[in-house]
Structure 1
Amino acid sequence: MKGGKMNLSIMVAAWFCWSCIIFGWASAREIVCPFSSNQNYKAGSTPTLTITYDAAADKKNYANFIRDLREAFGFSYSSHEIPVLRATVAANQKFIVAKVINVANLEVSLGLNVVNAYLVAYKAGGTSYFFNDPESLADAKKYLFTDTKQQTLSFTGSYADFLSRANVHREDVDLGVLALDNYIYILHKSSQPADIAKPLVGFIEMVPEAARFKYIEKKVLTQISETFRPRGVIISLENNWGDLSYQIQKSVNGIFLKPVQLQRENYTNILVNNVTQVTGLMGVLLNAVNYKVSMEEIIFNYQKWLPWL
């Protein structure tokens, strides 16, 4: 009986250690180094992109815009020299505003969540529009664009919702600075779901997704005077930002606890199992504390640790 209690204690201790590793409880190896601040960004200022149709100017403006946006999000620490977003913030500090101005001097202001880099709302003229996301809607309306007429969209802001409600596939959405310029005209002209679905997907991919992924940012910069459409690499990165963020932060000696499946441009699969494979692709990481572990991953890791229990 005594031995049984000892075995139980060992199992509980092992389970606790496993939980610390898997679910993001205090871990010294998470904190690699402090994030090096962008000295050109002034705290509290609004990241702004002004489109000029001059390739050199647009390239510089977009790079500065994404850099300032990452800085405006704020960070907890860096993991493998990649900035990690904050785990939580006070409700009145949860959102920031970024602006995009086109060649006609029309402006769209974007409301973004600093904890997960989600686009939650936008403003065109004197009206603001909020994604119908139950997790952020109430706070977003309380703190964003309060001096405007606020309206709630039918879209939740997820790619799946754009697909189901408006039949918009990411592969059919033009990306690039020139595409953004055109999308601003549309968002000022209409608020009908059928009209604004593609522009909103374009804004999501060109702003928060580009902040999350250097790969997307660099793709825009290398084709600054052109438009392009996302394919396997971009779409699979976007679909796996949470998984990549978690695995990078929880990696052991740079090796993932579980591989992440990405895709090449031609949609063939590639397994990523270490940090060095993706370091250059990442812009910011979702804090591991906010990662929602799937039941599949819980089972996977339980089976991995079971022999040690």
Structure 2
Amino acid sequence: MDFRPTDDQLALRTGVRELLARRFDRAALRDAVERGGALDRALWRELGDAGFFALCLPETEGGVGLGLPEAVLLFEEAGRVLLPGPLVDTHLAAGEVKGAAEGEVVVTAPHGSLIAHLADADVVRGLPPEELAAAEPVRAVDPLTPLHRLPGPPAHTGHAAGGSGATDGTGQAAARFGAAVLLTAAEQAGSASRTVEMAVQHACEREQFGQPIGGFQAVKHLCAQMLVRAEVARTAVYAAAVTGARAEIAGAKLLADEAAVRNARDCLQVCGGMGFTWESDVHLHLKRAWVRAARGPTRAATEDELAADLLAGPSDAPR
């Protein structure tokens, strides 16, 4: 099985990267921070026009007709630039919620007891009106992810509530939940790759004792470890997108969460005092990585699922 992106997939990724570079550069990122994470609806519609949300919809339903291997490439690019908004929820709602595929409608959903971007959402999936009315705003660690807290556990148990969806006889809820976990992992992988680039750039530009700090062994080791984490996480995400196996998705989530959080921390170390300032973007990557890691199944639950699969062994193993 070939896990390398095809030429068409690479062209798709390049197109999205160029779109985001044009429409969500660093100035736009900082503007979004100042707005408290409020969404740019014009950009949201432009993403819809580019097929970001309709990517996995069949062509007969007005979509692009591609699959998870292509979707993870798009979400990886979104993670690189810290694009705000309920991207995963809106993407998964395309074809079910009118206007979501075109970017005309913003869709969000509760994850555990928290809902992101509630004020910007046109549709909230999996939440009764009485619970929605009782949601209270809470201070989020990530300034680009405004949050509301529900008064109690959500009544729903599918993807919208952060459950496994295993009770769905058709398997659609389980597949949707797995896609949500994997696309979030793709965002984490993109963030991990971007912090590697930030650390290397600073290490090449910052000088101490008459030479770039990248020439010092300790800094080299930090950057090398960051690169290994990012590449391993990306490979795991790509592989899980091709196989669609639950255990592969669980492994990708663990690796991507670790890569995003630890790489952001190591990038802070490479950047030194500059990295801890509000003007630096490193802290935004770390905070978003924390928020993403808290979505979906907990680390312990993911580890248990992966361990159970490993202990079960191959399905065709002799009993």
TM-score, length-scaled by structure 1? 0.38
Question: Which is greater in Rg?
Answer: 1
TM-score, length-scaled by structure 2? 0.37
Q: Which has the bigger relative contact order, CA under 8 A and spacing at least 6?
A: 1
